[in-house]
Chain A
C-alpha cells in the first residue's frame, strides 16, 4: 500500500524527462505537460506562442528574427529545447557569429564589434513586460535614441542617422553644412566641428551646441588679434580660405597699422616686405628689419647697428640725408673743392662704396701726379697740402723762394706748368721739379742761334734780365765795336741785319768785320 502510494506520488511528480529551465520552472508538474505538449503530436509552435505573445506578435507583423525565413521555417523546439535542467540555456547562439541581419536590423560599423549585452539590456527596453525578462533580446527599437543618449540634448532632430552613421559618432558624414544657416567655405570645410561648436561640460553634462552658435561676425569664433584696429569686417582683408591669404590688398589702408607707408614704401609691392605671409607680424622699428644693410655693417658704431634712417629716408636710398655738418663732425671737414665733390669720388672704389675711411690724407683719394719729380724736401711723404689747398688744385701755395730758383721779374707771373710740366715729342707729359735746371735755356729758346754761346753755354743774363726781354744789361761799349758819334743814334737794325742760314733766319749780332765799307757803301 505504502509502496503503491509512493509510486503514484513519484508518477505525479516525476513524469517529466528532466527539469525545465528556470524560465519555464513554473510549468513543472504533470498537470502542465499539455501546456507545451500537444497530445499525439509532440510540441506545437502554437503552444509556445500562446505564452510568448511578444514573439507571436512579431511573427504576425513580420518583424524581428523569428520572422526571417530561415528561422520561421523551423519549429520553436528545434532551437529552444527543454527538459535539460534548470541551468540549460534555452536561448543560446554563437553571439560572435550571429547574423544580425536576420533580425531585420543589419549591424554595421561599430555595432558589429559590440557585445550583445551592450544593447540588449533592460535599460534600453521600453516595454515593461519585456523589461522583466533578464535575458531577452526583444524590446529594442531601431531608433538610435533607444540605446544612445541624445548628445545634442534635444537641440537637433531625433533622426540621428541623417547626420551620423554607425562607423563613428564623429564625424557626422551625413550632415551637410550647406543646408545650415551658415555655409562652410574655404578652410572652414576642413576644420574640426569642435572648433566652432565646442564641447562643454563633463561626462553626462557634456553638450555640444550646434544651433546656438553665433556666426554673424567672424569674431564670434575668431579672436580679433587686431584689437578692432581695422574694424569688425574681417572679410575686407581676410577670406575663409586662410587667415594668411589676404584679399583686396590694394584697398588695405596701411596707415591704420603701426607702420604708415611713406615715400617709396607707398609704391612698394606688399610682398617686398611681407615675404613669407601677409599676416606674419613684421618688425618695423628699424629699417634693417626689412632692408639689407647696403653698407655691410660699415656704419655700425661700437658694435651697435646704426639704423639707415640716420642717412636715408623713404624718398629713396639716394640721395642720402647725410649732412655736411654730420660729415664735418666725424673728423674730416669738407671744404673748398671737396664741397663740390660727389660722395662717390671719395667713397666709391670701382663699384664698392666705402665710408669707413679713417685716413684724412690727400693721397688716399688723390693721385700724386708729380710722381717722384718733386724732392721729398718739398713734398714730404706725398703731402700735397704742402703746395696745394682744398680750394683748388691750381691754387698752389708753394713758396718758390725756398728753392734754389727764386722767382722774380716776369717769372713771378708765369704759371708753374710753364716751367715744370713739359710735353715730350712723343706727347708724354712729364713733371720736372727737382730735375729742372735753373739755366734760362732750360725754358727759353736761343733766338740768337748760338751767337753768344761760349764754351757750350749761353749766359742770357749778360744782356737780359727777368724783368723784361729788353737788353738792359747790354753795354755796346764792352763789345769789340764801341759806339761812338753818330753810331750812338743809329738803330740796331741798321747794322745788325737779318740773315739766314741752315738753322733759319736770325739777326746777326756777332759781326766779324768792322770795316766801314762793310756797312757803308
Chain B
C-alpha cells in the first residue's frame, strides 16, 4: 500500500512537471520563438512578457515554489524538532519536485531572455538545479538506512558478508563460484581512486557490472542451477557488486558530497540574493503584478 502511495506521489510529481512544460510551451511557443526585437509586436506580448500578467505570474509562483521547496526541506533536515516529520527521502523528493517546477516557471517567466542581473540569478538557479540532479546521484552512491542515515564502513562490510553467506547458504553456491564473484569485485580495487577519475570509474563500472553478471550467468548455467535461482543469485550478485563499489568509493563519495554542498548551497544563495534584489527592483520600479 505504502509502495502504491509512493508510486502515485512520484507519478503525480512527474506528470505535473511534464504537464506544466507542455502547457507552458503550448501557450507561448509562438511568442518565445519570436526574435526578441519583434516580441513587443506579438499578440501575446502583453500577457507573456516578464512583466505581463502570465509572465510575471510565472515568476512569482515559480519563486514561491522554490522558496517553499528549499525552506521546507531545510527545516526538516536541519531542525531537530522536524526530524520526525516524514522520511527525509520523501521531503527530498518533494524538494526536488518543487525545485523543478519552480525553475521551469521561472524559465518561462524570463521568456528565454537571459540578460542583466537577473540572468545571474537564473543561471545560478540552473546551476543549483543541475547540481541538485548531480547531488541526488551522489546521494544515492552513499548507502543509507531507511531513515536516511549513512551506514558506516563496518556496517556495509557486514552487509557484504551477509550477501556472501546468503549466496552460499541459500543458493548453495559452491566456494569456487563464490570465490569467482568475490574476485570479480574487491573493495580494495577502489582504494586508490581519486575524485577527478571518479566519474570515469563509475561509468566503467557500469559496463563492468554487466560483463560480470553475464559471466556469472554462464557459470551458473554450467553448474546446472535453475532459472529462478539464477535470477535471485544474479540479483544478489548485482547488489553485491554495487555494494562493493559503494563500500570501495564510500570515503571518496563522502568527500565529494561534502564538496557538493559547498557548490550547491552558494549557488542557491546567489540565486536567492539576486532574486531578492530582482524582486526588490521590480517592486521599486512599480511592477507589482496584480498587487
Contact = CB atoms under 8 A, between A and B. Distances in A.
Interface of A: 7, 10-11, 14-19, 33, 37-42, 81, 84-85, 87-89, 92
Interface in B25-58: 36-37, 39-41, 50
Nearest to B41: A92
B203 to A, nearest CB: 32
Given A14-B120, A84-B36, A19 B115 contact: yes
B265 interface: no
A39 B280 CA distance: 11
A40 B286 contact: yes
Nearest to A93: B41
Contact of B36 (A11, A18, A37, A41): A18
A15 B50 CA distance: 14
B281 interface: yes
A7 B120 contact: yes
B116 A33 contact: no
Interface of B: 36-37, 39-41, 50, 113, 115-120, 270, 274, 277, 281, 284-287
A105 B113 CA distance: 40
Given A37-B285, A40-B284, A40-B285, A18 B115 contact: yes
Contacts of B37: 84-85, 87-89
A382 B40 CA distance: 126
Contacts of B284: 39-40
A485 B116 CA distance: 201
Given A10-B120, A19-B115, 13 more contacts: A11-B274, A11-B277, A15-B117, A17-B115, A18-B36, A18-B116, A37-B285, A38-B286, A39-B286, A40-B285, A41-B286, A84-B39, A87-B37
A15 B113 CA distance: 13
Given A33-B285, A38-B286, A42-B285, A14 B119 contact: yes
Secondary structure of the B contact surface, majority rule: helix
Nearest to A92: B41
A33 B286 CA distance: 13
Contacts of A41: 286
20 contacts: A11-B117, A11-B274, A14-B117, A14-B119, A16-B115, A17-B50, A17-B113, A17-B118, A33-B285, A38-B285, A39-B285, A39-B286, A41-B286, A84-B36, A84-B39, A84-B40, A85-B37, A88-B37, A88-B40, A89-B37
Given A14-B116, A15-B281, A42 B39 contact: no
Contacts of B120: 7, 10, 14
A249 to B, nearest CB: 77
Nearest to B115: A18
A92 B41 CA distance: 9
B117 A10 contact: yes
A87 B120 CA distance: 24
A521 to B, nearest CB: 180
Given A7-B120, A7-B270, A88-B40, A42 B286 contact: yes
B116 A15 contact: yes
A307 to B, nearest CB: 91
A92 B39 CA distance: 12
B264 to A, nearest CB: 15
Given A84-B37, A85-B37, A89-B37, A42 B287 contact: yes
Nearest to B285: A37
A17 B286 contact: no
A499 B284 CA distance: 187
Contacts of A11: 117, 274, 277
A266 B10 CA distance: 128
Nearest to A90: B40
Contacts of A14: 115-117, 119-120
